[in-house]
Amino acid sequence: MTTTSAPQPLRRVVIAGGGTAGWMVAAGLAKCLGRQLDIRLVESEEIGTVGVGEATIPTLHFMHEILDLDEKEFIQATQATFKLGINFENWRDVGENYFHSFGKTGKGHWTAGFQHFWLEGRRRGLASDYGDYCLELRAGLDNRFALLPDNGINYAYHFDATLYGQYLRRFSEALGVQRLEGRIVKVHTAEGSGDIVAIALDNGALVEGELFIDCTGMRSLLLGETLGVPYESWSHWLPCDSALAVQTESVGEPVPYTRSIAHPWGWQWRIPLQHRVGNGLVYSSSHIGDDEARAALLANVQGEVLRQPRVIKFKPGQREVVWKKNVVAIGLSSGFLEPLESTSIHLIQRGLTRLIELFPSDGIRQSDVDEYNAQAREQIEVIRDFIILHYHVTHRSDSPFWRGCRDMDVPPLLRHRIQHFRDTARIALRQGELFAENSWVQVMMGQGIPPASHHPITRNMDDRTLADFLGGIRKDVARTLMKLPRHQQFIQQFCPAPCIDPSARPATPPALRINPAATISTVQLADGSSVHVVDDFALEPEALVALADARAAQFQQPAGHPYPGPQLALPHGIVGVLGGYFDQHLRARLGAGQTQGLSGRFSRVTQEAATLNPLQRVCHRDDSAVGPGEMIAACVHYLFQDEQLGGTVLFRSRMSDADTQQFLRDAGTLDASAFGEKYEIAPGYMTESNRYFEVIGRLPARWNRAVFYDGGIFHSGDIRWAAHRAAYLAGLGRLTINAFFKSRRP
């Protein structure tokens, strides 16, 4: 009898790459499946993101409903504006424009869409412009917007993609996603199966997993480079292969639509945000050089240029499969379609939701893989055809680029749809397609296809009835439009984002690079517990000190905080590196389970000994915020040369558990005088044993030494204030990094 092994349960998910794709995947998985999974995301501060996509389509609302995001908070965090559609300029021909709106146009019948009734009205001289029957189109061109009851207006957003990634990162980390800082330098695969088992980082960390999500961008490091999945090029249908992106200052009110402006060799986008405008060119390098394209872009923007354009090279297409073995590619790693219809973020979202629908929690099965790949291919090919439609159906003949697009052979389904609409005004859609009938109609007619006929049911209406039908729709649109405020006015009343200097370039903090040659030594304490010491911990500790010194004015001592000196939150990148090192090297040693959250800060000791409150004059634990089944592990990294400023002292209580708890309660509630009288503990730093606690270990300070310990062990800084007061107060004094790793207990 032949037996086959059953698929193994899947719990550890590794997301390779951050940006919009990585953090959307992290947020979605954490929200829907986070309690069942250990989710880690690897990204490097050194690697930038493409970041040209700042316009979205209305399907993003579904993603935000899944995450239960607050719309106002999201808009303010991302400097977003509202989007009602896209204005296509010079696409049908030079000087001719049309608007692809998100809304419904008119009212259709089960036998025929509204375009059939409109065409009959035009034939009889009873219908005005097609756009008069669509609220979103008229509101967009009139620069008006408001949220309406019962989803009365269909809209999307323009936002800052970098800020969106940061927003989702904060959301994800709050749900327990662990970010690991580092560049991927090697991918390990299993012999025999070929599955990926781990990725190695440049800081020495090895990140193991059972399912890997490839969000490494166009490089497609896992699916393409490692698993060798070929790339299918669609350049013969989509000739543009380059893009330039640039940001400019706002020079007027933001309009509630994206501008897409065709040129002889490609097209230009203009996307207004609250704090700036995103601009760019998508072009064919066979028809214009990079330098000429850059000059053309800069000649066609408004407002001061904030950052110089950068060239992005791409090849339109798709990986032959987007899920192979235990790797799923989402975002640019799976394929690329230019942002003409703002579908990039939608494809990330759909890849994520499809993965959640087919998630292999009980092990990867080939039937799930095949279904995922089939759905992904069908979806992107239909979106591809919709984009090809804009290029192919055109009256432009002013350049070799447009003549080539007009004369090319197109995919069979698209060819059929164009001819079907040209003959009958009908759009026959497959179930689940992204773009609805009205989108196809607007682009077909906007690009210049006049249908030869339309459905005969429209001829059942006499002139009076048809005129009343069309006129009623047009009047409803006009009445609603008059009530809408200006787009900018609505933003200012509902969701104004904080004012920021659009020309300010955020400083990139130096990444903490951990010494891969550093060794971990274990120190046994008198009670049998252990702490772990890493000497020569960071490769460039001076950079960390320089960072703290540059931000010295930002240090603050929060009111009521027990730490006896000012603090400054660590940059996310440094926290992520510490978290990655802890996860790979210390978590098991300290008996910690899955990490649920990370935090870290620079700290200094500056408080006079005589002014210490009760909590500050006794040893403490770091476990005040943990619940049942949880623990805190901690790290202190010494960043001062004068070892006399003191390391860390560890204690155990001499009291019963009940008396210890009462002691801690009193330290937190009694004033200094009452506490001192009750326990006869004078103001000062605790460095030695007393009647309540005894020293079980002492770790001397050393430049660039890191100490990791269970936060449930009583401890205190070994602060000799009287002997070294001047040194504590000079410069950065006793500068340390303190990090905390909240975990589930195994």
Q: Write out the catalytic residue numbers.
A: 83
Cα of first residue to Cα of last residue in the chain, in angstroms, is 39
- Cβ distance 52 to 27 under 8 Å? no
The values of phi and psi at residue 53, to 5°, are -90, 105
Which residue has tokens 């006929």?
Answer: 453
Of 8, 372, 12, nearest to 177 (Cα)?
12
- Cβ distance 24 to 171 under 8 Å? no
Distance CA 12, CA 9 (A): 10
- Cβ distance 446 to 91 under 8 Å? yes
Please classify residue 19 by burial: count the beta carbons closer than 10 Å to its beta carbon, then call 0-12 exposed, 13-18 middle and 19+ buried.
buried
DSSP string, 143-177: TB----GGG-S--EEE--HHHHHHHHHHHHHHTTP
Beta pairing, strands 693-699 & 206-208: unpaired
Distance CA 319, CA 336 (A): 9
E-strand stretches of 258-356: 258-263, 266-272, 277-283, 305-313, 317-319, 323-324, 327-329, 335-336
Distance CA 369, CA 223 (A): 14
Tokens linked to 245: 């992106």
Sign for the CA dihedral angle at 325, 327, 331, 335 comes to: negative
**Which residues make Cβ contacts (< 8 Å) with residue 11, sequence separation at least 6?**
36, 37, 38, 210
Task: Enter the DSSP assignment of 556.
Answer: B
Of 18, 682, 37, nearest to 356 (Cα)?
37
The length of the chain in residues reads: 746
- Cβ distance 482 to 140 under 8 Å? no
**C-alpha angle 506/507/510, rounded to 5°?**
145
Distance CA 405, CA 573 (A): 45
Which residue has tokens 């953090």?
Answer: 23
688 alpha carbon, distance to own chain's centre: 48
The values of phi and psi at residue 419, to 5°, are -65, -40
Q: Is 664 left (phi over 0), alpha (psi -120 to 50) or beta?
A: alpha
**Which residues make Cβ contacts (< 8 Å) with residue 378, sequence separation at least 6?**
430
Task: Enter the DSSP assignment of 58.
Answer: T
**Which residues make Cβ contacts (< 8 Å) with residue 38, sequence separation at least 6?**
11, 12, 13, 178, 594, 595
Residue type, 395: H
Spell 676-709 as b/e; 16+ CB within 10 A means b.
eeebebebebbbeeeebbebbbebebbebbbbbb
Tokens linked to 731: 């410069």
Distance CA 746, CA 592 (A): 6
Tokens linked to 145: 């917007």
- Cβ distance 254 to 488 under 8 Å? yes
**C-alpha angle 69/75/77, rounded to 5°?**
90
Of 646, 741, 639, 641, nearest to 701 (Cα)?
646
**C-alpha angle 22/374/370, rounded to 5°?**
85
